[in-house]
Amino acid sequence: MRLGVLDVGSNTVHLLVVDAHPGARPLPAHSHKAELRLAQLLDDSGAIGSDGIAKLVDVTHECLQAAEDKGVEDVLPFATSAVREASNADDVLARVRDETGVELQVLTGEEEARLTFLAARRWFGWSAGKLLVLDIGGGSLEIAYGIDEEPDAAVSLPLGAGRLTAGWLPGDPPTPDSIRALRRHVRAQIARTVGEFTRFGTPDHVVATSKTFKQLARIAGAARSTEGLYVQRELKRESLEAWVPRLAGMTVAQRAELPGVSEGRAGQLLAGALVAEGAMDLFGVDRLEVCPWALREGVILRRLDHMGSV
């Protein structure tokens, strides 16, 4: 069947259309996305403003039309940290439901981590052994660890690249003091969780998902996306550590000129790099591999598993 996943994220609203059936690899058929940056549209009370809700409704309509055009039989709609943590989340969900008919499922941070872990496990297989999976989104950082398809430990931290950029890095480029303050904040947050994972032992394979990690790997020399899904892409900590001060000295426009960095994500790249560097350092990771599959694929795989068990 042809399935659609409607992902209302902190940066982007993304419809991914795949051809799928139980026991088979989901094959991407179409992608439709719009950058709304919901995580940066919160007002002082933590609410998504009326303009932001209106834009979300409009984009949801666009995605539904695209799904219909592409022959999608079923749409799996979900929302992550920007909606989850908005002070008016219930109002946002109700308006989207009333005006589009879409009932967004709000995932918890732990659910995000677990579904992303499932996608990585299916991509790399059992031979990868114990996996440590890192995912930097617009609103949160997810970390999961385990040897099965369900992780032994999974956490979500409020360390998304968009959230941190808006809250900690004013200026273009930001000041050294603001960068240093954010670095301390990021590392303190991550350090609180390290013990929860290290008690399970050293991972056999460290995996990263998300646009942020893909862009960091690309500027550090990984293959471009046009070379295909199956090319191995790695990010080494020493390369990342060399890039962080360079990114810190660049304007947003200069970062947007780097290979693989989109104009829309360039402003968040420094914050994402500080989170990636902190996670790799505190978890003792020298290198990690970028996984093409992430949360959206995890949602699809979980749905297919349920279909296959009926």
Model pLDDT for residues 41-59, shown as the tens digit of each residue: 788 899 999 999 999 999 9
Say if residue 206's pLDDT is above 80: yes
pLDDT of residue 40: 76
Distance of CA 267 to the CA centre of its chain: 16
The residue with tokens 């991509």 is 123
Q: How confident is the model at residue 235 (pLDDT cuts 50, 70, 90)?
A: very high
Query: How does the average pLDDT of the chain come out, rounded?
Result: 95
Residues belonging to the chain: 310
Distance in angstroms (rounded) separating the CA atoms of residues 110 and 93 = 20
Which of 310, 237, 203, 293 shows the shortest CA–CA distance to 5?
Answer: 293
Distance in angstroms (rounded) separating the CA atoms of residues 109 and 246 = 31
In single-letter form, the type of residue at position 287 comes to R
Distance in angstroms (rounded) separating the CA atoms of residues 26 and 125 = 15
Say if residue 310's pLDDT is above 60: no
Say if residue 189's pLDDT is above 90: yes
The DSSP string of 116-170 is HHHHHHHHH-GGG-SEEEEEE-SS-EEEEEESSSS-SEEEEES--HHHHHHHH--
The residue with tokens 């303009």 is 51
Residue 257 CB-density burial (10 A; 0-12 exposed, 13-18 middle, 19+ buried): exposed
pLDDT of residue 309: 60
pLDDT of residue 308: 63
Interval 271-284 mean pLDDT: 98
| 109 Cβ contact partners less than 8 Å away, ≥ 6 residues apart | 81, 84, 140, 142, 155, 156, 157
pLDDT of residue 16: 97
Q: Quick one: the chain helix, strand, coil %, rounded to 5? A: 50, 20, 30
pLDDT of residue 229: 87
CB distance 261 to 255 below 8 Å: yes
Which of 121, 21, 138 shows the shortest CA–CA distance to 85?
Answer: 138
Q: pTM to 2 decimals?
A: 0.95
Say if residue 143's pLDDT is above 60: yes
